[in-house]
Amino acid sequence: MKITTTGSLGNVAKPLVQKLIATGHEVTVISTKEDKKTEIEALGAKAAIGSITDLEFLTEAFTGVDAVYTMMPPSMGATNMIQNIAAAGQVYVNAIKAANVNRVVLLSSVGADATEGTGPVGGVHRVEQIFHDQLTNINVTVIRSGFFYVNFFRDIPLIKNRGIFGNNYSGEDRLALTHSEDLSSAIAEELQANGNGFEVKYMVSDMATGNELAELFGKTIGKPDLTWTEIPDEQLKQGMLSGGLPPELAGLITELGQGVKAGIVMKDFFAKGGEANGKTKLVQFAEEFKNKYAQA
């Protein structure tokens, strides 16, 4: 098969590309960065350097392929992020139609079913709707991921410097969590399958509350007294602003945590059975966390 992937060589895209090449497929990797070309080609893939917002470029990258993997960057621009993500989703749709692609996999997120109250996830909610409404007669599989395990690496400096681990939701709120290895495997499998119209599937590796995460990570890194801290919204936002995040993105991330606390983000996943179908469990990831913590 000829397959085009987006996401450059990120946490999900790189293992995806490796899996597809190992299976004998011809892969083109879209990246905005010219300096990624050598690394992409070293994997055995073809590099297409350009922007997913460029319809002419994207159409060319999609022409003649059997399947495409599409993902949305977590933020696009310092302002109007949700609108920018939705606009990029529309470019995807226009390119898919122009290139006559018949198999599409879209990476989405828990909470994408909700119309509001989910922060940056609101962007992929809109993209899902655009794909659903406009890619008729095309086999589209939406894979909604849980929160990425690797995002917990961002908490390491605060744990090391202040002994704080938490977010702006309760330690009792149950989270759907995903390892990039499991996610890349699920995407690879779907790209090689025929699909069945428009489908939504979840890929979740494990589930845990904040309290359970604190206990597991604390024990693993030699801090058995580590507990979950529910951080006030404004304090969380100010911390992100002081770290250099644009105000709009800081506000959206704060809203995402509020959505977790309100039960909006995880609602559909748990309502549909809440199955953790990935192989990489949190106890395995805890060793990765331990190594990152030691290196920090």
- The answer to whether residue 78 scores a pLDDT higher than 90 is no
Q: List residues bridging with 198 in a β-sheet.
A: 140
- The answer to whether residue 77 scores a pLDDT higher than 90 is no
DSSP 149: G
Residue type, 248: E
16-44: per-residue pLDDT in tens? 999 999 999 999 999 999 999 999 999 99
The pLDDT assigned to 13 comes to: 97
CB atoms < 10 A from the CB of 237, how many?
A: 20
Model confidence at 263, pLDDT cuts 50, 70, 90, reads very high
In the chain, what percentage of residues exceed pLDDT 90? 98
**CATH class of the domain defined by 206-295:** alpha beta
The pLDDT assigned to 26 comes to: 98
Q: Which of 61, 122, 45 is nearest to 94 (CA)?
A: 61
The pLDDT assigned to 74 comes to: 76
The pLDDT assigned to 237 comes to: 97
Query: Hey, do 2-147+178-203 and 206-295 end up sharing a CATH topology, with the first three levels equal?
Result: no
Mean of pLDDT values over 265-269: 98
Element at 176 (helix H, strand E): strand 174-178
Is 1:26 a contact under the CB 8 Å cutoff? yes
pTM, full prediction: 0.96
Q: What is the DSSP string of 45-73?
A: -EEEES-TT-HHHHHHHHTT-SEEEE---
How confident is the prediction for the chain on average, in pLDDT?
Answer: 97
The pLDDT assigned to 260 comes to: 98
Q: Could you give the angle at which helices 247-261 and 121-134 cross, rounded to 10 degrees? A: 80
- The answer to whether residue 83 scores a pLDDT higher than 90 is yes
The two three-digit tokens of residue 122, written as one number: 């609101």
- The answer to whether residue 219 scores a pLDDT higher than 90 is yes
Residue 119: which region, alpha, beta or left (left: phi > 0; alpha: psi -120 to 50)?
left
- The answer to whether residue 212 scores a pLDDT higher than 80 is yes
- The answer to whether residue 76 scores a pLDDT higher than 90 is no
Q: Which of 21, 43, 55 is nearest to 191 (CA)?
A: 21
Mean of pLDDT values over 111-121: 97
Pairing of strands 46-49, 165-167: unpaired
- The answer to whether residue 128 scores a pLDDT higher than 90 is yes
Q: List residues bridging with 206 in a β-sheet.
A: 177
Q: Cα(260)–Cα(118) distance, rounded to whole angstroms?
A: 8
Q: Kindly give, in sequence order, each residue whose CB lies less than 8 Å from that of residue 25, ignoring residues fewer than 6 positions away.
A: 1, 2, 3, 192
Mean of pLDDT values over 81-98: 97
- CATH of 2-147+178-203, picked from 3.40.50.720, 1.10.3290.10, 3.30.70.270, 3.40.50.2300, is 3.40.50.720
Residue ranges covered by each domain of the chain: 2-147+178-203, 206-295
